[in-house]
Structure 1
Amino acid sequence: MSKILGKNQVKGPPKPRPKPENAFLVATTIDKFNQDLCTRLAGISAAAYKSEKVIVHDLRALEMGFHNYELISNGNAQAYIIWNDKELIVAWRGTEPTEYEDILADLKFRKVKGMEGMVHRGFKEYVDKVYDGVLKRVVEITKGKWYKIYVTGHSLGGASALICTNRFEEEQFVVKACYTFGAPRPGGWKYANSFKTNVFRVRNNNDLVTKVPPTIIGYKHVGELCYIDRHGILRTGKVKWYVLFRNWIKGQFERFGDGLRDHSIGEYYNNLKKATRIHK
């Protein structure tokens, strides 16, 4: 029986991967962009940085009706599984500036083979540490039930959410949507184009992390860009290049460290709560 507001920490080498025989029972309706859901997933991505003792308070504050959670952890790699009777969220922890291993993972630009195409080596190694534990619990929780599954994360957690989503597709789990916040490019062009799930990559103004690894060495973003500009307008659909460039230029003159401040998950959450949306 699942523990209410409990924990289950996975340590050591991963166990053999379970086969998700119940995958056909997962809800199959594909989501369109939802600003309210996006905002709450940003809040959950922020909560994923917290300890198990603290995250319970963040989940209550978000008022999403989630009363169950488990932390899957191995070394510096962590992901929370959060669920109720109808929905399940896999929230990957992002980059902690104080964590040396996280910084090393971010700097490994070399690509290795993924499910389809080439993927960032450091991001893949991070996900590898806990993926089997995540999959095992998702299989157990959703078995014989209809569930809407969402995957999310900020920074390194955003890249991890993408890799996890791609692997769930291979396992025949249907993910309703993947929302990432300040995520770097996860892999090559073939890899980025292989996704079947609706992916919404949210970028806050001049967030520097969204610009790496560079496209010149073969990296590509995944999904639809959802851009929060310097005026707090959330632009979805086709975001023009000159809108991004204009906001970048103005950011250089208005405040020092614009790109670093824009990467904060707190900035994402607060800006999404009050953003006016424009869709083109």
Structure 2
Amino acid sequence: MSILAETSSSLEQIKLVLEKELPMYREAFCDRTCFIMACLSELVYLKFNKPILDPNDKELVKKVSNLLVDESKLLNLYKLLELLSYNHEEEKEKLKKELDILDFQIDKLFNKEGTQAMIVSTSKFYALVFRGTEATSIADIKSDLKAKQTKCELGGKIHTGFKEAFELVQKEIQDYIDENLKDKPLLITGHSLGGALATVATKSLKYDKIAACYTFGSPRVGDEIWMLGIKAPVYRIVNSADPVTMLPFGTEAVDILTFLFRFVPYIGEKISRYLESNFSGYSHAGYMRYLTNIENGEFEKAELVYSVSFLRRIRAYLLRKMPFSSIPADHAISVYRKKLHFIAFKRNQ
């Protein structure tokens, strides 16, 4: 079964969306481009990088098993090994087949110490796609948690973890761009942590034909001064109750916390100063587009609207129009992609 084309009708709908030429060299948002970037942001999760554990390394499994006597622990070990091991060549072939549906080819894969990305292309443009947070990747989780801001050489302050994660592959990506990308525009995209890295890349990479950046479920990356240096348009897609898009906390939330901590005896003032100097100032980059809530997997009923205020989202919670049970699912890139699939199809029939 294909990830992108689950049915023959969905495959036909994708082909219809692809028939029209995508707009490039302009700041206008395009629902078809957005859908394709969501597809790529989902496909980059396919594990083209080599696994931590070799699934065929039976000797390693035997050695570890001998250390465990408890059968329940052995069962957990086998589950962990199954989760961490996979055939990356098979995953790479699957990636190629899925990209064929979108008429893309793989140009270059990047993988270094937990940061993964790929450059793919069509006859019209290139796309740089960053992988998001993986639950089994300690490096990804560490990058997410390093929310303390650090000064950026290009001005302003940036999330320390995102900066460090991008710098792992920055030189390799820049070298590849310098040597191989010619004439065609470049789109940059990613989901979750990948969206944050895509934002950093849009600001940091040197290529005069960066057309736009599309992020899905991206957390905040830096302060307003840092964002001023982003020349290409950034389109930030937020799905319903996705909680990651509200992190790290914005300036208003940090201001409230620093105010409250000042009333804590002895250590309150120190905590307030620490929060203010290291976490205050986070703001979202780019132009927001909001995917509305749906019920029971009715993706065809989703709408893509302009910026929705935080208060409106809170109101939706209170009125139970946005159930708390949907919060984890709303961050999934597959949900973003399925909603955008129908939006792109309906608007371009």
Unmatched segments (≥5 aa) in structure 2: 1-22, 49-91, 255-279, 295-301
Counterpart CA distance in 1 for 2:320 and 2:173 is 39
Which has the higher mean CA deviation after the structures are superposed, 113-122 or 65-74? Answer: 65-74
Q: Which of 95, 99, 104 is equivalent to 2:142? A: 104
Cα distance, 1:259 vs structure 2: 1.8
The structure that is strand-richer by fraction is 1
Q: What is the TM-score with the length of structure 2 in the denominator?
A: 0.65
Which residue matches 1:210?
A: 245
Change (3 A) 1:249 1:71: farther
Change (3 A) 1:132 1:250: farther
Q: Which amino acid aligns with 1:53?
A: E
Counterpart CA distance in 2 for 1:251 and 1:72 is 43
Which residue matches 1:234?
A: 304
SS in structure 2 opposite 1:275?
helix
Cα distance, 1:252 vs structure 2: 7.7
| 1:1-280 correspondence to structure 2 within 5 Å | 29-50=25-46, 51=48, 52-61=92-101, 63=102, 65-114=103-152, 115-142=154-181, 145-168=182-205, 171=206, 173-215=208-250, 216=254, 217-231=280-294, 232-236=302-306, 238-250=307-319, 254-256=323-325, 258-275=326-343
SS in structure 2 opposite 1:36?
helix
Which residue matches 2:77?
A: none
Q: For each residue in 1:204-252, what CA deviation from the matched residue of structure 2 results, as whole angstroms up to 9, or x when unmatched?
A: 001010010001222100001100011411103x434554333333558
Number of residue pairs matched?
A: 244
Unmatched segments (≥5 aa) in structure 1: 1-26
Counterpart CA distance in 1 for 2:207 and 2:118 is 21
Counterpart CA distance in 1 for 2:322 and 2:330 is 15
Q: Which amino acid aligns with 1:270?
A: K
The structure that is helix-richer by fraction is 2
SS in structure 1 opposite 2:186?
strand
SS in structure 2 opposite 1:202?
strand
Output the aligned Cα RMSD.
2.2
Q: For each residue in 1:169-208, what CA deviation from the matched residue of structure 2 results, as whole angstroms up to 9, or x when unmatched?
A: xx35331000000000001121123322111000000101
Counterpart CA distance in 2 for 1:252 and 1:68 is 41
Q: Which amino acid aligns with 1:162?
A: T
SS in structure 1 opposite 2:108?
strand
Which residue matches 2:268?
A: none
